[in-house]
Every structure is written in structure tokens, then in C-alpha cells.
């Protein structure tokens, strides 16, 4: 269930970008059992990491704080509608609910005409059109090589993960 105090925090985090070089105004919090368990702001430029969005940073922080990659039952509050990368991270982690403030249209109106020197351009529409496609159908060149070797390692790892010594519910990746 939505609570203003969590959105207030996400927006307050985004506002810190006004005075923090290398950050962008996208803030997020992860909430579980009524408490903030993770916070993040977009640090893509600061970290030289194009995946360092506010939502992914909040998810990383929550996972570290909780000691798990399983965020089922958690809610993410974001100052802006998440891009496909962030939605994918939420789905991978199992985030159950999302609430956001500004939408993509509002973000585009504010940021769309910035020069590339101020902000690396992200074409969300292009991301949406490509993410659900099988690899060979995407515009980015991709080709499969050495699949048998890689699949063998996957199967061997899965065999070890099934053994009682490595079983720890909620601690291993899904």
C-alpha cells in the first residue's frame, strides 16, 4: 500500500543531485515490512557505470542490507518512472510493487534537449522495442559461440547448487 513518506524520501534523494556532481535526479527507496531497507540515486557518471540508476542502486543497497537477492514482498518508490533496465532489475529481484512520481513524458520534457556533454542520451523507446526480442532479432549484432562449453558449466554449477552443502534459501541467485 502506497505511503507518502516513502515517496517523499525518494524525491528528497533525487534532489541531492542538484548539489552532488556526477549524480542525476533519479532517487529511489526499497521498502520491506514498512521500513526503508535500501536507497539509491543515479550515479552513472560518478561511477562510470551506465547501470547505476537510482532504482538499481536502491536494489543493490537493499540486497546488501538484507543479505539476500530475494526482494519478494518489497516495494520500490522512485522519483521517476523506471526505465526498462530498472524494471528488469526489479523483476529479477522479485520486487512486488512499484510507485513512481514523474513519468517518462515529464522526464523527457525536462531532460530531452540536454546536450550529450550534460547527459548521455537514453532512448527508452528503442530499449522497449529491443528488450523483449530474441537475441538474433535485435538490431545489435549478436551471435552464439561455444554454447556447449558454457552450458556444461551451467549444468555443473546447478548440480553443485542442488547439493545440501550449498543450499541456503534466499541467499543464492535465482
97-102 and 75-80 beta bridge pairing: parallel
Report which of 30, 137, 141 is spatially closest to residue 77, judged by C-alpha positions: 30
Q: What percent of the chain has pLDDT over 90?
A: 70
Alpha carbon distance 30, 16 (integer Å): 18
Strand partners, 39: 29
Residue 155, classed as helix, strand or coil, is: helix
Active site residue 55: yes
Q: What is the CA radius of gyration of the chain?
A: 18
Q: Nine-digit cell at 86?
A: 530498472
Query: Which residue in the block uniquely carries the three cell numbers 546447478?
Result: 158
Alpha carbon distance 62, 56 (integer Å): 10
pLDDT per position as a tens digit, 25-38: 999 999 999 999 99
Between 65 and 115, name the one with better pLDDT.
65
| 96 CB-near residues (< 8 Å, 6+ apart) | 71, 72, 73, 74, 75
Query: Which residue in the block uniquely carries the three cell numbers 547527459?
Result: 119
Determine how many CB atoms are found less than 10 A away from the CB of residue 75: 19
pLDDT per position as a tens digit, 110-150: 988 888 778 877 888 888 888 888 888 989 888 899 999 99
Alpha carbon distance 122, 65 (integer Å): 30
In the chain, alpha helices (H): 4-15, 44-47, 54-66, 84-93, 104-111, 124-131, 147-162
Strand partners, 76: 30, 98
Residues 77/9, Cβ–Cβ less than 8 Å: yes
Give me the catalytic one of 55, 57, 81, 116. 55
Instruction: Report yes or no on whether pTM surpasses 0.75.
Output: yes
Cα–Cα–Cα angle for 55, 100, 31, nearest 5°? 60
Amino acid at each position: 500500500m502506497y505511503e507518502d513518506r516513502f515517496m517523499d524520501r525518494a524525491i528528497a534523494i533525487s534532489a541531492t543531485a542538484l548539489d552532488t556532481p556526477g549524480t542525476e535526479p533519479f532517487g529511489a527507496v526499497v521498502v520491506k515490512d514498512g521500513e526503508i531497507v535500501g536507497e539509491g540515486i543515479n550515479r552513472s557518471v560518478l561511477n562510470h557505470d551506465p547501470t547505476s540508476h537510482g532504482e538499481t542502486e536502491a536494489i543493490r543497497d537493499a540486497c546488501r542490507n538484507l543479505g539476500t537477492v530475494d526482494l519478494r514482498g518489497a516495494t520500490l518508490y522512485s522519483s521517476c518512472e523506471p526505465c526498462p533496465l530498472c524494471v528488469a532489475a526489479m523483476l529479477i529481484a522479485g520486487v512486488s510493487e512499484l510507485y513512481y512520481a514523474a513519468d517518462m513524458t515529464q522526464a523527457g520534457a525536462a531532460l530531452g534537449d540536454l546536450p550529450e556533454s550534460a547527459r548521455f542520451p537514453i532512448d527508452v523507446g528503442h530499449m522497449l522495442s529491443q528488450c523483449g526480442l530474441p537475441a538474433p532479432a535485435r538490431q545489435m549484432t549478436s551471435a552464439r559461440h561455444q554454447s556447449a562449453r558454457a552450458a556444461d558449466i551451467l549444468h555443473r554449477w546447478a548440480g553443485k547448487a542442488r547439493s545440501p552443502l550449498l543450499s541456503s534459501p534466499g541467499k543464492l541467485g535465482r
